[in-house]
Chains A and B, each alone.
Chain A
Amino acid sequence: MSFVSRGFRGRRRDAPADGGRVPPGQYLTDDFPVLSAGPTPRTPLEEWSFAITGEVDEPRTYSWEEFRALPAETITRDIHCVTKWSKLDTVWEGVPVSALLEGHETAAEYVVAFCDGGYTTNLPLEDVAEGNAWVVHTYDGAPLAPEHGGPARLLVPHLYFWKSAKWVRGLALRLEDEPGFWEGYGYHNYGDPWKEQRYWGD
């Protein structure tokens, strides 16, 4: 390990007494760090849409009004970023991906989330379609801020947070797996924090 700096602690909290909530190699934070691969997109709501496309019988597009009219859930989850910070008990409000996929027939086994600014990330369909993923528009009781992915982002808390794509504009269903942005640059294709799957080959 590198040289240890005497007296340096850094900005993080102690792990909670009920251990087991922090995956290996992670540090707790009270902040909500803003990490990005590019500038913050600012799509006006009247131009925003969310699409279900690709290997589906009938592609579907929602306007912002239509998306906000869908039944939403409030959920509390822990989130884990591959850059080693974890934040517990984050509160979100959004539409389950399973509800967005309801009624669509597909042979697809994978999805690619695509976003303003060109970011993409890939997931197995079963990792978003079974009550384990949401498209969220509210964080901590307030509209999701642009720097955190607003107006809407994908939320997939059981995987490293780069899979919770910010500024999401749709899900493309695919027959074949298609590595997204970070997956194409050395990050793990799946990204399970509990198995510490950060990079290819982990």
Chain B
Amino acid sequence: MERAAVLGRLTWRLAEVAEIVPETARAATLVFEVDGWPGHRAGQHVDVRLTAEDGYQAQRSYSIASAPGEPHVRLTVERLDDGEVSPYLVGELRPGDRIEIRGPVGGYFVWEPGGGEPVLLVAGGSGVVPLAAMLRRRIETGDRTPMKLLYSSRAPEDVIYAAELDRLDGLDGVDVIHTFTRSQPDGWSGYVRRIDEAMLAAVAWPASQGARAFVCGPTRLVESVADGLLAVGYGPAAVRTERFGPTGGEG
């Protein structure tokens, strides 16, 4: 049974930008110093709140990209053109600026080492962020859990953490499988369609191995993958999901 962490009641605290690292044309990783950060678990998220001078506020949730052992809290944000918060975080924010965050939150969509059952991570777009945190946690602890990441992107230039994922792919017990839905790299011989039941049947650990799955991305993808995993034999308790809402990322 999951244990709940005692956090005390959550309040807003300030996070200072130490560095901003571009990931793709639209996404960047924000590296924060957070005074008094209590630590977090891979898969958790924070809520971010922005306040304008006249008091107008906007709030969104972002998954934590950093593994728990890292010295900074990192968030990866994809800028949506018609978004309200993401264009500020990716575009206006600079090192030295501070934002308000609340968290870490989430005791359900988390992975901790030591389990043993293989893990399937299924990501759509920026849904890769919490799943990458889980992969990074596995690496930083030396855990041997077999992990597969199935990652759906529109085009090669949209792949977040591309170089890092290439490096991790093929490490003992780690597999990264990409699928592209609009355009693919030159010479690509891998998947070129949305994740469907046939792809899951080919990629997912057989249900008989007691595997667990974590699925994160736009609502449509999450629902279709969850249904697909049930269809290939995963029990409902073995599949955990986190939805980002219709835009596939925050706004």
Binding site for B on A (CB under 8 A): 1-12, 27, 84
Contacts of A9 in B (CB 8 A): 52, 56
Interface residues on B, range: 10 to 19
Nearest B-chain residue to A84, judged by Cβ: B56
Is residue B14 within 8 Å, beta carbon to beta carbon, of the partner chain? yes
Residues of A within 8 A of B49 (CB): 2
Contact A1 B51 (CB under 8 A): yes
Q: Is the CB–CB distance between B97 and A4 below 8 Å?
A: no
Please, how many angstroms separate the alpha-carbon atoms of A7 and B92 in the complex? 7
Determine the chain B residues whose CB is within 8 A of the CB of A8 once the complex forms.
Answer: 50-52, 58, 88, 92
Instruction: Tell me whether A10 and B58 are in contact in the complex, defined as CB-CB below 8 angstroms, given that A2-B51, A3-B51, A4-B51 are known contacts.
Output: yes
Bound state CA distance, A94 and B97, in angstroms?
50
Cross-chain pairs A/B with CB under 8 angstroms, 18 sampled: A1-B51, A2-B12, A2-B57, A3-B98, A3-B100, A4-B52, A4-B53, A5-B88, A5-B97, A5-B98, A5-B100, A6-B97, A8-B58, A8-B88, A9-B56, A10-B56, A27-B56, A84-B56
Give the interface of B toward A (CB within 8 A). 12, 14, 49-53, 55-58, 84, 88, 92, 97-100
Alpha-carbon separation in the docked complex, A2 to B92 (Å): 19
Residues of A near B14 (CB, < 8 A) are 3
Q: Chain B residues with Cβ under 8 A from A12's Cβ?
A: 56
Instruction: Closest B residue to A11 by CB, please name it.
Output: B84
Q: Is A7 in contact with B51, judged by CB distance below 8 angstroms?
A: no
Which chain B positions have C-beta within 8 A of A2?
12, 49, 51, 57, 100
In the complex, what residues of B have CB within 8 A of residue A3's CB?
12, 14, 51, 98, 100
Cβ A10 vs Cβ B100 within 8 A: no
Q: How far is the CA of A1 from the CA of B14 in the complex (A)?
A: 14
B51 and A5 within 8 A (CB): yes
Q: In the complex, A2→B84 CA distance in Å?
A: 19
Q: Roughly how many angstroms separate A7 CA and B88 CA in the complex, as a whole number?
A: 8
Give the nearest-CB partner of B58 in chain A: A10
Q: Which 6 A-B pairs have the closest CB atoms?
A: A5-B50, A11-B84, A8-B50, A10-B56, A7-B92, A2-B51
Q: Are B50 and A10 in contact (CB under 8 A)?
A: yes
By beta carbon, the residue of chain A nearest B91 is A7
Check B52 against A10 for contact (C-beta < 8 Å): yes
CB of A28, distance to nearest CB on chain B (Å): 11
Question: How far, in Å, is B57 (CB) from chain A's closest CB?
Answer: 8
Starting from the known contacts A8-B88, A10-B56, A84-B56, 5 additional A-B residue pairs (CB-CB under 8 Å) come to: A2-B57, A3-B14, A8-B52, A8-B58, A8-B92
Give complex CA distance A42, B23 in Å.
41
Contact indicator B55/A5 (Cβ below 8 Å): no
Task: Name A7's closest neighbour in chain B (CB-CB).
Answer: B92
